[in-house]
Structure 1
Amino acid sequence: MTKTSSSGPLAGIKVLELGTLIAGPFCSRMLAEFGADVIKIESPDGGDPIRQWRVLKDGTSLWWSVQARNKKSLTLNLKDPRGQQIAKKLALEADIIIENYRPGVLEKWSLGYEQLKAENPATIMVRLSGFGQTGPLKDQPGFGAIGESMGGMRYVSGFPDRPPLRIGISIGDSVAALHGVIGAMMALRHRDATGGRWNGKSGAECVAGQGQMIDVALYEAVFNMMESLVPEYDYAGVVRERTGGALPGIVPSNTYTTGDGENIVIAGNGDAIFKRLMLAMGRDDLANDAQLARNDGRVPRTAEIDGAIQAWCATQTIDSAMAILQAADVPAGKIYSVRDMMNDPQFLARKMFEQHTFADGTPIKLPAITPKLSETPGETKWLGPALGEHTDDVLKTLGYDDAGIAELRRDGVV
């Protein structure tokens, strides 16, 4: 059931989402989870394609229930001038506009940043695209997979004797979305510090803070996560390569296999932690080896150290290894599947799953909202809406009556 009450740290903030699939919608999803009033514009012809992705219930993706929670769905044909006019009205009223079309598309519809800024100086627009709004590749299509590849993530993922691997989720899109959220919050802070929300007037009567465009390129968002990649190459000519489960240059940190065939990640790379790990394994010789007391001494002997840890793990079950390492205060963890997560005491204690119900009464669990705010936590007010579920309500706020809405629907505008 839809909760109409507005709460959360972003209550009162209006967001217009002009996007599909992952990056743009994930960005606005996080704002919606913390109280923003998000209106998502969808094509009347099927809506956001993610509605049909992966596992479906009654023809709609289970992913949709998460990706679009707390959003209002407005169907609108943006190729029709009347649809563009409606979108423009909503955009001028919005505090934040989030879009992930190819550069130039919104400008064709008179919805570009500069076009809106000319009427509303406080316009904040988050633009997520494959390659950004400038540069020789700006007009090329660029999904998250391309961003992961060009941004450096794919090159370092996998084993050195095999082709690069992809992570099993759309990490490039999600990382870009998080950059969009951060940029939007900084821009909102700046707008409020320079005068605040636009009062809808022009000329001498215009009161508005300074808006801005947040230009997020997927490949740059991934590139921003690549740690010391650039200075290591620039200074030392080092190209970081694929190293499987190991963390190169930080020893030991790797994935090992226990005697019962389970995988365990052990991060014993802190100097004091390394000594505790070796003592817990019964390797006092390595624990007391002066050369291994610091990371720079351990790096040349990485293979020896990893071999010793693997040999010890082979004598343990996953449970016995975890018990010994936890008792020794050594960071270690099983590699969880979703089945492991949903039965894990830590996940359960932190209330990382929410129980909800579809309209037909079917129960469904969703991931809980993060981050956890002590005073103004996020909230799931309703699951992803039906296509166009809020069309009439939104249009009525713009002054359309029932007859006008019926005409738009008859003409395929909504």
Structure 2
Amino acid sequence: MSEPAASTAGALSDLRVVEMGQLIAGPFCGQLLGDMGAEVIKIEPPGAGDPMRVWGQGAPVWWDVIARNKRSVSLDLRQVEGQGLARRLIAQADVLIENFKPGTLEGWGLAPDDLRRDNPGLIVVRMSGYGQTGPYAARAGFGGVAEAMGGWRRIVGDPDRPPSRMGVSIGDSLTATYGCIGVLSALHHRHRTGQGQVIDAALYESVLQVMEGMVAEYAVAGVTRQRSGAVLPGIAPSNVYPCLDGEYMIAANQDAVFRRLCVAMGRPDLADDPRYIDHVSRGAHQAQLDDLIAAWTIKLTIQEVEAAMLTASVPAGRLFAPADMLEDPHFASREAIISMDHPRWKNFKMQGVFPKLSATPGAVRSIAPQVVGEHNAEILGGRLGLSSQDLERLRDARVI
């Protein structure tokens, strides 16, 4: 059978999302849902709006990535009238995203149980540092703190130096991704029952979830993972190796692949050396093996090493910077990087939509709202029926 024609609307095009969160976790969850077609109404505080509007290195462009496919409505949720307008918007929504400190929604009169009485099918995604329950729930929590509690920060870096960090806000992004998974699971449940539910996504637990066998290793074998620098202990060879003109990643930590690497290096004997003959042996002699490979790569250019790896079918690759991504034919072929016309930024480019769905692919349909409350008239006027006089009065009262 032939593949059905792809829809340009996205798999979630019938979904309406109200996003209340600020900074990263809540907004990235909204971005993921919006990329897949959902209509995302972003509520921002009047005035400065979401702090993400001024984030970015070199230029404040992070907002233009994380707020794509969204409409901006400005509401002061600390005022009763702002809370009432938010409640009316949420009553028309399928999903509410928030990442405030636990108890904040309740303090605004927007407790999920109350919202779901007006809208039984509502799915509420709550993201916080420690979750909605437990002795730490009321504590303030950011992604970096969650990375520490979840076990990530302690094992990243060189063993003779203080813990390092990843160069992106991984704790927030993981929580947003798990929040998105929660939404999709809750939608399946709602399809069967008609009922929504609350998703409690803690930042520290989202980090904990990707820590592989770390807890089990300690519980069973008493082993506590330590900082190991550039290597993953026991996984060899899998490292970045020096070349004449830079560095190159080689991952040959499987018996047949390692044998092919040895042939490419002109050292087929290494594959039968008792120190490197299998996974466990290579892991036990990881440093020695890395030194052998580095002694080979350092005599060659990146291009020469890459040619050898391609011929030998060994997983390997260059360390890409943004400039490399923009010039690479594979990125271009798969539209991993997209270009958008933008009123502020010349030559604006950003990552595309992932993953790729064959029948209902996602898309970036619109740039991020450039003005706080840019869609007040469309949403508060068109959806909620407020008149131009109502909107003017609300502006004067700084409700919007």
Cα deviation for residue 121 of structure 1 reads: 2.3
Alignment of 1:375 onto 2:359: yes
In 2, are the aligned partners of 1:155 and 1:164 still within 8 Å (CA)? yes
Between the aligned residues of both structures, percent identity stands at 46
| Structure 2 CA distance for aligned equivalents of residues 360 and 177 of structure 1 | 28
For 2:211, give the aligned amino acid.
M
Alignment of 1:405 onto 2:398: no
Cα deviation for residue 366 of structure 1 reads: 2.0
| Structure 2 CA distance for aligned equivalents of residues 56 and 39 of structure 1 | 28
- Tell me the C-alpha RMSD between the 2 structures: 1.6
Alignment match, 1:251: 236
* Aligned with 2:208 (options 210, 219, 223): 223
Structure 1 unmatched ranges of 5 or more = 195-208
Alignment of 1:35 onto 2:3: no
Alignment of 1:92 onto 2:105: no
| Structure 1 CA distance for aligned equivalents of residues 101 and 8 of structure 2 | 33
Cα deviation for residue 300 of structure 1 reads: 1.8
For 1:34, give the aligned amino acid.
M
Alignment of 1:242 onto 2:244: no
Between 1:360-369 and 1:86-95, the stretch displaced more is 360-369
In 1, are the aligned partners of 2:132 and 2:200 still within 8 Å (CA)? yes
Q: Deviations over 1:167-205 (max 9, x none)?
A: 1111111111100100001001110111xxxxxxxxxxx
Cα deviation for residue 84 of structure 1 reads: 0.2
For normalisation by structure 1, the TM-score amounts to 0.91
For normalisation by structure 2, the TM-score amounts to 0.95
| Structure 2 CA distance for aligned equivalents of residues 361 and 268 of structure 1 | 42
1:32 aligned counterpart, secondary structure: helix
For 1:87, give the aligned amino acid.
A
| Structure 2 CA distance for aligned equivalents of residues 302 and 360 of structure 1 | 50
Cα deviation for residue 303 of structure 1 reads: 2.1
In 2, are the aligned partners of 1:6 and 1:12 still within 8 Å (CA)? no
In 2, are the aligned partners of 1:275 and 1:293 still within 8 Å (CA)? no
In 1, are the aligned partners of 2:338 and 2:352 still within 8 Å (CA)? yes
| Structure 2 CA distance for aligned equivalents of residues 312 and 50 of structure 1 | 46
2:164 aligned counterpart, secondary structure: coil
Between 1:30-39 and 1:76-85, the stretch displaced more is 30-39
Alignment match, 2:155: 156
In 1, are the aligned partners of 2:8 and 2:360 still within 8 Å (CA)? no
1:293 aligned counterpart, secondary structure: coil
Structure 2 unmatched ranges of 5 or more = 1-6
Tell me: CA distance 1:319–1:361, structure 2 relative to 1, closer, same or farther (3 Å). closer
In 2, are the aligned partners of 1:172 and 1:218 still within 8 Å (CA)? yes
Alignment of 1:276 onto 2:260: yes
Cα deviation for residue 130 of structure 1 reads: 0.7
Superposed, 1:252-267 pairs within 5 Å as 252-260=237-245, 262-267=246-251
In 1, are the aligned partners of 2:8 and 2:363 still within 8 Å (CA)? no
Alignment of 1:366 onto 2:350: yes
Between 1:350-359 and 1:318-327, the stretch displaced more is 350-359
Alignment match, 2:3: none
| Structure 1 CA distance for aligned equivalents of residues 8 and 81 of structure 2 | 30
2:360 aligned counterpart, secondary structure: coil
Alignment match, 1:116: 115
| Structure 2 CA distance for aligned equivalents of residues 140 and 379 of structure 1 | 37
Alignment match, 1:323: 307
Cα deviation for residue 120 of structure 1 reads: 2.4
Tell me: CA distance 1:361–1:109, structure 2 relative to 1, closer, same or farther (3 Å). closer
Alignment match, 2:19: 17
In 1, are the aligned partners of 2:243 and 2:302 still within 8 Å (CA)? yes
2:134 aligned counterpart, secondary structure: coil
2:185 aligned counterpart, secondary structure: helix
Alignment match, 2:328: 344
| Structure 2 CA distance for aligned equivalents of residues 229 and 157 of structure 1 | 13
Alignment match, 2:9: 7
